[in-house]
Homo-oligomer: A and B are copies of this chain.
Amino acid sequence: MLNIERALVICAHPDDEVLGLGGTIKRMTAAGIEVNVVMFANGNEGYPTLAEKDSIVETRRNEREAVQKILGISHFEAYDYGDYAIPANEVTYKICMKAIRAYRPQAVFTHYWREYNTHKAVASIATDAFWQAGWTCSLELGDPWKPEALYYFEVIELLHQISHIVDISDTLEAKLEAMKAYASQCSVVPGALRQLEGKAFMRGAQAGVNYGEAFLKNTDRPEIIL
């Protein structure tokens, strides 16, 4: 998974990329892998006080830019959908297709498909685009590109099966730093930081290391052994 040149993360909300695979992103960028992120929502609902309602989108944009630096993300392609308003439709599907063809990743990372509704929408379009981007069609969206693998990460729900655990012992600190950079969100979900650490602890323990992040490799596109 880490033996690639370029990775693409397709996620819903500002902080999903950190909660899901912040430690893995940091490991990848530290190893010289180019990591790009497509993010659909602008964070408009995550205001922990009414007073912050009008400024929350800007706040989260600034937080996101800080996270980009902390994790070393190359392009952060962020869209302006409301937090509860990410559709699975032609527009968002084409965003995924285009990003896969433009960034040409070997590995794509996205939400797990048994999840919260907007996450499910992203999981659905990213999964299909992962596969259809390699077809000779819709050339306006770029030249066909076949990523080698698609991995689901875990944000809210635990994955029901896991196929990979990445050792993030050395990058947990960056993951925590990134989550703290999303300062506005740390009070939205009570105990979010502790949950982040609890999951990292447990996934690490399962792998015999200090901290870990878990993934499930999609099998819609089998690995071909020539």
Contact = CB atoms under 8 A, between A and B. Distances in A.
Interface of A: 1-2, 45-50, 53, 82, 84-85, 87-90, 93-94, 116-117, 124-125, 128, 132, 135-140, 158, 160-167, 187-191, 194-195, 197-199, 201-209, 214, 216-217, 219, 222-226
A65 B64 CA distance: 50
Contacts of A224: 164-165, 167, 207-209
Contacts of A125: 117
20 contacts: A45-B137, A47-B137, A48-B139, A49-B139, A53-B139, A84-B90, A93-B117, A117-B128, A162-B219, A163-B217, A164-B222, A164-B223, A164-B225, A165-B225, A166-B225, A191-B205, A197-B201, A198-B204, A207-B222, A209-B226
A181 B117 CA distance: 35
A194 B165 CA distance: 16
Nearest to A208: B191
7 interchain residue pairs of minimum CB distance: A198-B205, A198-B202, A85-B90, A202-B202, A195-B205, A84-B90, A163-B219
